[in-house]
Amino acid sequence: MSFDSLGLAEPLLRAVHEQGYTVPTPIQSQAIPAVLSGGDLLAGAQTGTGKTAGFVLPMLQRLAAKPAVRDARGRLPIRALILTPTRELAAQVEESVRNYGKYMKLASMVMFGGVGMQPQIDKLRKGVDILVATPGRLLDHAQQRTLDLSHVEIFVLDEADRMLDMGFVHDIKKVLALVPAKKQSLLFSATFSDEIKNLADRLLNKPALIEVARRNQTAELIAQKVHPVGREMKKDLLVHLIKSNDWHQVLVFTRMKHGANRLVEHLLKQDVSAMAIHGNKSQSARTKALADFKNGELRVLVATDIAARGIDIDQLPHVVNFELPNVPEDYVHRIGRTGRAGTPGEAISLVCVDEDGFLRDIEKLIKREIPKQIIPGFAPHPGEKPEPIVLGRMVIGAGAGRGGGHRHSNGGAHASRGRNDSRNAQPAARPAGPRPDARRQGKPPARLTQPKR
């Protein structure tokens, strides 16, 4: 099958071919005809399978086929709204809208927090067909009456699983109250959890269902490997791997923001160019780091899980888990930054004895054992004992995975399971993790409660 057989208009096909694509991915070959038909859609595919083009291409065609009716002031109404969880993903999706729609007369813009509102207001006044936004900043504009969503014809909820992880469910409900009840709704998610299906029941009307890979499956083109390592030798092992293998583009994950900063400092001292990208960085710093990494000027980009959503780089060769995530599903999302769109990739995890429980949970989730290889000179010391892992105000028992004992820093113990781990692992003043465009900084801290088993 080729893109030419999917019923797309010539201007779209020309843009697709210019991007170097000729054969659609499985999610694209199924989603494009479904969206063109005008019905609602619930689509699940592992990250890196090209789902953005799966909704952007048919959305552009449907909007172009029906010219917009300008308002009394001659302005274009917002006809399509794409909601994403992070700034980086919003920018990435809007870039795809511009690339694929370059031969169509449709205006688009991206909207997120961390930057001034006035330039966004000015662009809205000129008229926008397609708006890509994060929830917080979108609701800021709605509160100030600087945008009108009453003419939205197509609503896309992208990365819905991460939206829920980050605590955006209430903001999503507020956005839904601003758009027309009669519209085409598309929900895309890397995973299908029960929470996602509940959200779909509220949002979608008799949707088509597409799931091109089993839940939490990792791409076959990603070569996964674990390097057991001594706790204090991780940084040196990472430098050794980068230099001895002559890696030039490496995405490295840490669990916490301060850990990312410390790792960057170490890499720079070893003459390895590196920058960090996380929620405490300014938007301009995040944008520069990502741009330098994409164009090859930056050798290593160190990221936390939430900031990494939206990092979509063609043929990214290496992803390194400097620290394993405490939520197994995040491992799938992390390594999905490589091995994208049919290209091979390598995912390496540096695992010390403290993280053995995390590794067991990950292997149980993906239903496979990850090959282990000890690098000479970096093997764990035979007498090294596991120590507790500190995550914000949480302490995870030594060597424990999800089933291990968790306790607050004040000594209050509880057991934690499920996706709530990723939120509870943050400092208590941030109830839903480091929201990319948090709007209400003065909210009282959330209580760390015991999730249901």
The predicted model gives 362-387 an average pLDDT of 91
Reading the block at residue 245, the tokens are: 């293998």
User: Strand 154-157 and strand 222-228: pairing?
Assistant: unpaired
Fold classified for 222-366: Rossmann fold (3.40.50)
The predicted model gives 197-213 an average pLDDT of 86
165 versus 232: which is more confidently predicted?
A: 232
- Return d(Cα 242, Cα 250) in angstroms, integer: 8
pLDDT at 133: 96
Helices (H), 394-442: 421-424
Rounded to the nearest 5°, which phi and psi values hold at 3?
Answer: -60, -30
| Residue ranges per structural domain of the chain | 3-211, 222-366
Res 13 pLDDT > 60: yes
pLDDT at 311: 67
Q: Which helix (H) or strand (E) holds 83?
A: strand 80-83
Helices (H), 113-256: 118-126, 135-143, 160-165, 169-176, 194-203, 234-244
Res 52 pLDDT > 80: yes
- Return d(Cα 101, Cα 19) in angstroms, integer: 12
pLDDT at 435: 39
Q: Decide: 383 and 396 in contact? Cβ < 8 Å.
A: no
pLDDT at 178: 95
Structural class in CATH, domain 3-211: alpha beta
Angle 85-99-13 (CA atoms, 0-180°, nearest 5)? 120
Domain 3-211 identical in fold to domain 222-366? yes
Q: How many CA atoms lie within 13 A of 30 on its CB side?
A: 17
Burial category of 140 from C-beta neighbours within 10 Å (exposed 0-12, middle 13-18, buried 19 and up): middle
pLDDT at 204: 93
pLDDT at 274: 94
The predicted model gives 113-137 an average pLDDT of 93
- Return d(Cα 44, Cα 422) in angstroms, integer: 21
Res 153 pLDDT > 70: yes
Q: Nearest-CA neighbor of 70 among 127, 148, 138?
A: 127
pLDDT at 429: 36
pLDDT at 20: 81
The predicted model gives 182-194 an average pLDDT of 86
Q: Nearest-CA neighbor of 196 among 180, 211, 177, 182?
A: 211
282-339 pLDDT tens trace: 778 888 888 888 888 999 999 987 666 656 676 788 999 999 998 888 888 788 878 7
The predicted model gives 415-436 an average pLDDT of 35
340 versus 192: which is more confidently predicted?
A: 192
The predicted model gives 442-451 an average pLDDT of 38
In DSSP terms, 357 is beta-bridged to none
Q: Which of 65-79, 169-183, 221-235, 257-271 has the lowest mean pLDDT?
A: 65-79
Q: Decide: 139 and 170 in contact? Cβ < 8 Å.
A: no
379-403 pLDDT tens trace: 998 888 888 887 765 667 666 665 4
94-107 pLDDT tens trace: 999 999 999 998 99
Res 217 pLDDT > 80: no
Q: How many CA atoms lie within 13 A of 10 on its CB side?
A: 0
The predicted model gives 262-285 an average pLDDT of 89
pLDDT at 412: 32
pLDDT at 124: 93
Scanning the structure block, which residue is given the tokens 């939205």?
152
3-state class (DSSP) for residue 310 = coil
How many Cβ atoms sit within 10 Å of the Cβ of residue 195?
18
